[in-house]
Amino acid sequence: MHVLILGGTTEARRLAELLAAEPVPGLRVTNSLAGRVSAPRLPPGEVRVGGFGGADGLAAWLREHEVDALIDATHPFAGRISFNAARAAATAHVPLLALRRPGWVPVAGDDWREVESLEEAARSLPGIGRRVFLTTGRMGLAAFADLTDLWFLVRSVDAPEPPHPPRMEVLLDRGPFTLDGERELLRRHRIDVVVTKDSGGAATAPKLRAAREAGVPVVVVRRPPVPDGVRVVAESEQALRWLATRPAFPAAG
């Protein structure tokens, strides 16, 4: 059996670790990374880096490499690859599972302003605050490039490239982040509004609690939907159990 994991997330690495912990004879696992981060955390096992050339290219790769199961464990906001995966899996007749961490849920005391896109987030900011903690990564900063009257603290793994806001400080860092660290960051930079994508997970959630404690509003970009008809699980262990039910899984015999 050959399993292709479209990865780059904590959940994808966890699944690869589970599969590598007790090797199954006859099982091949390929981890695919998009290559957008200069120094990614590599999962155990075989790794390929780079795109496939759209849905048709991915379907051709699935056929050429005789893939028996495809797991889309990409970031919740990697919408294009998820739809390409659904199309490719249908074309190549390969079973597909989406592994998605649950989104965040507001609690008492949160001041969330939910929007549908980065562009809508940018349009809403002038009426909310003037010192922005932008935690949406280095991709998509062009949406905020025209906000010349606001100051931005941008946190990302790699340095962003133009276009981006003219009044900006860059903080190169990678999660997980601590609650004390997020509290201090908001205080030191006098942040009065946070912008984030609803990526879910615990690694970057402390900023939400820090904002709640400080009474700072949070602009939350809703995540795109999973393609219709694709089964979704929330945990790597669930994906492992799904794989074990596939007819081609070595242990199934």
Residues of the chain with CATH 3.40.50.1000: 112-221
CA angle 180, 106, 7 (to 5 degrees): 75
Full-model pTM: 0.86
CATH architecture of 2-101+225-252: 3-Layer(aba) Sandwich (3.40)
Model confidence over 155-197: pLDDT tens digits? 998 899 999 999 999 999 988 899 999 999 999 999 999 999 9
Task: Please check the confidence at residue 36 and state whether its pLDDT lies above 70.
Answer: no
The DSSP bridge partners found for residue 29 are 3
CATH architecture of 112-221: 3-Layer(aba) Sandwich (3.40)
Omega within 30 of 0 (cis) for the link into 106? no
Provide the CB-side half-sphere exposure for 105 (13 A, CA): 3
Give the span between the Cα atoms of 134 and 173, in whole angstroms.
13
Helix (H), strand (E) at residue 218: strand 218-221
Q: What is the mean pLDDT of the chain?
A: 93
